[in-house]
Chains A and B, each alone.
Chain A
Amino acid sequence: MDERVAALVASSGFGAKLGEMIDVSEDGALWTLSPRPELVGNPLLPALHGGAVTAFLELACSVAVARRLERSILPRLISLNVQFLTPIRLRNVMARPDVRRIGRRVAVVHIEAWQDNPGIPGCAAQCEFSCIAE
């Protein structure tokens, strides 16, 4: 993983916790979550917890914004909208954050998670972050 990306991921306790299961390649563009069983939300399938997948996607989006702003502080999440298309199974999850807009106050990022085929997303999220330094 790129050093700057690794530093941003590990910059909070929660990021460091998820970061143990995350690899980032292609200069920060491709995020891969290799989930441990603790991320399971439905043990009957088993499928990952929607909240765990969402947290992974949010982290990827926030790091993408921090890199675009050339900051070492992650931007504050204002709002997140997530849609689940298929159950996310207990195996690698991939995602590419797509920074749609960076303004002076707000950044908008879209992201989709997939497992077997990038054309078949299992989960899609839209995030708005505050770009105002706290």
Chain B
Amino acid sequence: MSVLTDVGMVAIPWSAALDVQLVSSGDGVASLRMPWRPDLSDQAGAVATGAVVSLVDHACGAAVMSRLSRPLLISTLNLKVDHVRRPEPGCQVTVWSHCYSLSESRAFVCAEVWDRDPSDIIAAAQGVFSINRPIAE
């Protein structure tokens, strides 16, 4: 499955285009995976930083969604991604995101991305999301 449906999200075309797959989500934590593909790679043949930031943004949103008691529209206020090192060429990447604080109007999220070993990350991220109106039924 390449789109998220279990956290109140409708299909997200850009995530589907990147083959983003949901590993798990719940209680403010989400994990997603993106495969390596030639059209997602950088000049060295590793997953491109631009694809990683898309994965991180989606994962952070999924972590927020998983903490909401009902589907609400959320939007990214800001996102900071530190690219610690380049992933291994040809290797998929996995993200783990955690919504560690949530109020009625804002959510704070952090995330880590790795290729082979969760203790050897390729990127670390921090983001703030705005929680907007309910998704119309």
Q: Is the CB of B80 within 8 A of A73?
A: no
B residues with a Cβ closer than 8 A to A are: 10-17, 37-44, 48-51, 53-58, 73, 75-83, 86, 135-136
Residues of A within 8 A of B13 (CB): 37-41, 43, 49
Is A79 within 8 A of B42, CB to CB? no
Across the A-B interface, the 8 shortest Cβ-Cβ residue pairs: A51-B54, A55-B50, A14-B48, A49-B14, A51-B57, A13-B41, A38-B17, A40-B13
Given known contacts A43-B10, A44-B135, A49-B15, is B78 in contact with A82 (CB within 8 Å)?
yes
Given the complex, which residues of B lie within 8 Å of A74, measured CB to CB?
42-43
Closest residue of B by beta carbon distance from A82: B79
Cα distance A40–B54 when bound, in Å?
12
Assuming the contacts A18-B50, A55-B53, asked whether A80 and B81 have C-beta atoms less than 8 A apart, the reply is yes
Assuming the A-B contacts A39-B14, A58-B49, A59-B50, are A80 and B78 also in contact, with contact meaning beta carbons closer than 8 angstroms in the complex?
A: no
Contact of A52 with B by CB under 8 A: yes
Q: Is the CB of A73 within 8 A of B39?
A: no
CB <8 Å contact, B54 and A54: yes
With A and B bound together, what is the CA distance between A76 and B49 in angstroms? 9
Contacts A77-B49, A80-B53 supplied; 7 other A-B pairs, CB < 8 Å: A13-B37, A38-B13, A43-B13, A49-B13, A49-B54, A50-B57, A74-B43
